[in-house]
Amino acid sequence: RMDWNSYHALEDIEGYLGWLNASTNGVVQVLSAATTQEGRPVYVVRVNDRGATGPKKRIWIEGGIHAREWISPAATTFILHQVATNPDWQRTILPHTEWYFVPVANPDGYAHTFTGGRARLWRKNRRVNDNALPDRCNGVDLNRNWDLKWGVGASQNPCSELYMGEVPFSEAETTGLKYFMERVGPLDLFITFHSYGQSVLYPWGWTKDPPKNAKMLHRVGRRFLEAVQHVSKGQVDYTLGGSGAMLGFASGATDDWAYGALGAKHAYTIELRDTGHYGFLLPEAQIGSTVRETAAGVQCMVTYMINNG
């Protein structure tokens, strides 16, 4: 049905979502948040055990907003798989949580990277900005298109990989996800998976000034680092900090919007393996260990949040 030993084309991922939807007795629901320029749905997968009452942490996990970062949808689907099918997670985590997964936030871009040679490591979506311009001038960086301090560390040039779009939320993917998130309501935890760099980043993206609950963001982020260290037996190290301070300024990203506009209590961008040796071309042999340590990291963050209010 699905495995985490190879990278999967969009159709395989969608097939797996359909299987989950059909075989988990209403616990997993596959919904659509948007239809892309090329006509593909942007799926949101809700996981909620209606049998469990009592307070629940609301968690949103986004993957695949950057087309070439293939390990991101792999990690997102693996965590979804744990929540939906792992007896340990279902006993200890699921009764206290409600999950929303976006396995591939940029399906057009993702599909494009499966057309051979990873289509020159495409990052943006596939909007046609101007028919007269070369292919690299197509697309909007969906992680520069959200409306919070829009335009910092981004480009107004459509030919740039960091093209922010004509206006905030100019894209079907970002608008659709925004509306969906607003309907879901206040989040306790938002995570968007990227690669590469092995870092856990929290707001803000446009300033080095820490947000008001930076201490708490740091404390919960540490749980991820500790779990990865533990599972990898000290082989894999992540760094942790504010994204503006760690990476340089960039706004219009989902993490800042989820935190600053939607009011998510915790919001993170997690840059997965590696630190640059393979970069975006992380070998398939590393998928399994990467997604397992990542799931352990998220499990520890969520467990901490459940136990600490």
Indicate which of Zn ion, ligand 0X9, none lies near residue 266 (CB less than 5 to 8 Å, by partner kind). none
Smallest gap from Cβ 65 to ligand 0X9, in A, equals 8
Size of the site for Zn ion (CB under 5 A): 3
Assess 194 for contact with Zn ion (CB under 5 A).
yes
Catalytic one among 14, 69, 98, 271?
Answer: 271
Q: How far is the CB of 66 from Zn ion (least distance, A)?
A: 3
Backbone phi, then psi, for 117, in 5-degree steps?
55, 25
The question of whether 271 is a catalytic residue gets the answer yes
Select from ligand 0X9, Zn ion, none the partner in contact with residue 253, using the beta carbon and a kind-dependent cut-off of 5 to 8 Å. Answer: ligand 0X9
Q: Which of 18, 83, 191, 166 is nearest to 154 (CA)?
A: 166
Among 42, 83, 104, 201, which residue interacts with ligand 0X9 (rule: CB under 6 A)? 201
**Min separation Cβ 290 and ligand 0X9, Å:** 15
Q: Does 173 bind ligand 0X9 (CB under 6 A)?
A: no
* Cα dihedral 81/85/52/62 (nearest 10): 0
Verify binding: residue 81, Zn ion, rule CB under 5 A.
no
Range in contact with ligand 0X9 (rule: CB under 6 A) among 49-57, 180-188, 221-229, 245-253: 245-253
Closer residue to Zn ion, CB minimum distance, 48 or 76: 76
**Nearest distance from residue 218's CB to ligand 0X9, in Å?**
16
Does 143 bind ligand 0X9 (CB under 6 A)? Our answer is yes
Encoding tokens for residue 259? 């935190």
Instruction: Choose the binding region for ligand 0X9 from 1-9, 107-115, 173-181, 246-254 (rule: CB under 6 A).
Output: 246-254
Residue placing its CB nearer to ligand 0X9 in the complex, 20 or 140: 140
Q: Which residue carries 């292919």 as its tokens?
A: 135
Binding string, residues 60-99; x marks residues near ligand 0X9 by CB under 6 A: ------x--x------------------------------
- Decide: is 66 part of the binding site for Zn ion (CB under 5 A): yes
In the complex, least distance from residue 194 CB atom to Zn ion, rounded to whole angstroms: 3
Of 165, 168, 176, 205, the one binding ligand 0X9 (CB under 6 A) is 205
Does 142 help bind ligand 0X9 (rule: CB under 6 A)?
no
- Give the CA angle between residues 96, 100, 105 to the nearest 5°: 160
Cα–Cα distance for residue pair 233/229, rounded to 1 Å = 6
Place of tokens 């799926």: 43
Q: Which residues are catalytic?
A: 271
Q: Which residues bind ligand 0X9 (CB under 6 A)?
A: 66, 69, 143, 194, 201, 205, 243, 247, 250, 253, 255-256, 269, 271
